[in-house]
Structure 1
């Protein structure tokens, strides 16, 4: 599955931080039950790669990827763990090159027009704007749409349930990333029903956007 198809599968890509592998499968099932299938498990904890393995093996309806990929070694480890895609907060020339050669697609992180040009020159037309709020948010995405009409973005960073619809209304936004679907206190409590409700509300954002 290419990255454009992945980005179109859910209006919101949850940014997931897992401290315990045991939480991975029930969390993924809760998100899928609410209509959110594309899941970004960040490589920020020791549990991340094993969590990706568990979700890939046990939740077939989920499309699990690895986030916080910053080196070619991270990318290789994510692919080996069973990730279907990878997401980076930024992108070196080395990582962009590795992404083109990888068995799984990479969504490279960009923040400036120069970052965008470098990623575009390396063959990428889908990118993660990060950190979106600090980079200028909706105004920045509108500005980037002029010189780069062929690109699609997944803005991430500082986006929540209230601001997500404004981003999703932009023609160059394929989806948004956010951590509000998996609040740490709900994950620690194992409150999977609450997470399913958050996912259901996030999945409905696509319907609200298409109705405008």
Structure 2
């Protein structure tokens, strides 16, 4: 996990992507890399997610790829086979956590209250997704939990250009997840120039 944390901390913002057509994945990866965000969390909210991860991995081996919205052990297997570097889940499912640990792949599960943080720590986890961040109390809740628990957080859900720097300024925040720079509509319509501008804007904000 320390290697993953080091890479995430350098990237600062992970684009959270729902991609419907895996044929577009390599081009999207190119846009991310060339405009300063060499990472992607490809969510399993679409059927094409495993194929998209595989296409990104083959085209850009250096890209850091997470498989997001993982809800089953079968999806963990698909993500590993496709070439994902790490797993992200919206909640804390002990079965999924233990399965990832058995498979030797890092997992960043979702939590939004102290009890879930403690359960995650009990399972040996020290990097957690704070989700849905804004709806769960935002910066106030995050700072309160950070004062108590020696863990790192990846706030996701409601993170935006307006508040991303505030989240990143919290010492316990390793990286933020966001969707605003990779809207599905632009991907679906091959509007790569506009996507590139959005990604570059994020890179400029955080660097």
TM-score band by shorter chain is: over 0.9
Q: Is the 8 A contact 2:20 2:188 kept in 1?
A: no
SS in 1 for 2:142: helix
The within-5 A match list for 1:76-115 is 76-115=77-116
SS in 2 for 1:74: helix
Q: How many angstroms apart in 2 are the aligned matches of 1:200 and 1:125? A: 30
* Partner residue in 1 for 2:167: 167
Provide the alpha-carbon RMSD of the alignment.
1.3
| Matched pairs, number | 206
Corresponding position: 1:54 with 2:32? no
SS in 1 for 2:196: helix
* Partner residue in 1 for 2:138: 137
CA deviation map 1:11-50 (0-9, x unaligned): 1101100011111111111011111012100001111100
TM-score by length of 1: 0.92
Corresponding position: 1:157 with 2:157? yes
* Partner residue in 2 for 1:197: 197
For residue 123 of structure 1, report the CA deviation from its aligned partner. 0.6
Q: How many angstroms apart in 1 are the aligned matches of 2:11 and 2:195? A: 16
* Partner residue in 2 for 1:210: none
Q: How many angstroms apart in 1 are the aligned matches of 2:117 and 2:203? A: 28
TM-score by length of 2: 0.95
For residue 111 of structure 1, report the CA deviation from its aligned partner. 1.3
Q: How many angstroms apart in 2 are the aligned matches of 1:21 and 1:124? A: 32
The within-5 A match list for 1:111-122 is 111-122=112-123
Q: Is the 8 A contact 2:32 2:39 kept in 1?
A: no
Q: Tell me, which stretches of 5 or more residues in structure 2 are unaligned? A: none
SS in 2 for 1:107: strand
Q: How many angstroms apart in 2 are the aligned matches of 1:205 and 1:94? A: 38
Q: Is the 8 A contact 1:132 1:158 kept in 2?
A: yes
Q: Tell which deviates more after alignment, 26-35 or 186-195.
A: 186-195
SS in 2 for 1:134: helix
Q: How many angstroms apart in 2 are the aligned matches of 1:195 and 1:110? A: 30
Q: Is the 8 A contact 1:32 1:61 kept in 2?
A: no
